[in-house]
Amino acid sequence: MGCCSGRVRVVLGTSGLSSLERQKPPWLDLWTMDRDLSDEDSVVDLSFEADTPLAPPAELLDRLPSYDCLFQGGGRQIFFPPLETPGRPEEPRCWSSFLEQRAPVVTEEVAREALLNFVNSKCCYGSTAAGDLIIQELKQQTLCRYRLETFSESRISEWTFQPFTKHSVDGPQRGTSPRLWDIKVQVPPMFQEDIRKFQVPHSSLVKECHKCHGRGRYKCSGCHGAGMVRCPSCCGAKRRAKQPRRCQMCSGCGRRRCSTCSGRGNKTCATCKGEKKLLHFIQLVIMWKNSLFEFVSEHRLNCPGELLAKAKGENLFKDENTVVYPLVDFPLREISLASQRGLAQHSAALASRARVLQQRQTIELIPLTEVHYWYQGKTNVYYIYGTDHSVYVADYPERYCWGCTII
């Protein structure tokens, strides 16, 4: 459904023309040649208005009792969701079985294979160094990544319009428009963001197009209704300066057909598409959003934190419900604090403007290994992270160019 919105910027005077047109410059007669601009031909002159669709002024629209608030804040209103009754807190969990899980140990063979796979994926990295370097030490650490997802729904309403094509009108005479949160819609799969727009029942009104004033067309802004414009090559002189021959672009007539309107002198109204009337209605905009909070436990190694946030991990714990509760008793205190902080942030951000449909919190184990190696008299390090053994190396010794990304 192609709808338009905006604001009216030019108000026509009592003579039916804009104030800018009444102050017409003298050279305009030359530009429009022999066309009589006083003949309106039932076409309003909007030469100095924007061609983009403009919104109707609010005072032209009949008020609907259920949506008077739309006229108090610029034609757009956020509707607060109904309050939800909180559920019961969950029972304390036993974490002993979870803590028994450990990430697999990375051996020297696994570390070398991971580096070789990384090098082979780069067009300008040599594999000789990866095969010949001497691994001196492996420092391993297992991190915990906490992730909270909150899937919410928010609703706003706004006035919009579209060309009226003489179909039936679902207006206030058919009943009172329902409140926005009473309108039933199909919810997308949980944690999948989406935006959908719906026409609110019994909110439609038909009005004359405010852009063309019900004419369906208006004078072209390029030729001001003449259909012809002064030749850009000879500037209307019929032959170019210091040349005896007539102008080849306009064939010596000094004019060319207007390319903006193809010589018609007028254009179809872009707002009503020539239908002369507009169907105004209240549009319900529903936004499903997945808010994300992530935290990775502190580590003593120098691997960039942004890589660990995206790393693949082993699932340690998953809790999904309409409302989840903080992990206050998790053995790693920084994870417990992160859980409380994430839930508090989402609650503060969404409580007043959205309805929470589902929450999900997870804890994943992220293995991280710092590999110290020696090659050609120099020592250096690279990192293996995630269950898929991704590699980060800041200074690989056998690189042939300097324009490649190294992560």
Give dist(CA 3, CA 142) in Å, integer. 53
Return the SS3 of 241. Answer: coil
| Residues 265-274 pLDDT 10s | 788 888 898 8
CA distances from 30 to 13, 173, 179, 255, 261 (A): 25, 54, 59, 10, 19
Reference 292, options 351, 362, 187; nearest CA is 362
In this structure, are residues 277 and 238 in contact, taking their beta carbons and an 8 Å threshold?
Answer: no
Instruction: Give 44's pLDDT tier (boundaries 50, 70, 90).
Output: very low
**73-102 pLDDT tens trace:** 455 555 556 655 555 555 666 666 665 666
pLDDT exceeds 50 at position 5? no
Report whether 138 contacts 111 (CB < 8 A).
Answer: yes
> What pTM was estimated for this model as a whole?
0.69
Q: Which residue has the higher pLDDT, 1 or 221?
A: 221
**Torsion angle defined by CA atoms of residues 69, 70, 73 and 74, in that order, rounded to the nearest 10 degrees:** -160
Give the model's confidence band at 71: pLDDT under 50 very low, under 70 low, under 90 confident, else very high: very low
Nearest partner of 396 among 129, 113, 137, judged by Cα? 129
φ, ψ (nearest 5 deg) of residue 387: -70, -15
Please check whether residue 161 is in contact with residue 278, taking contact to mean a CB–CB distance below 8 angstroms. Answer: yes
32: left (phi over 0), alpha (psi -120 to 50) or beta: alpha
CB 321 within 8 A of CB 233: no
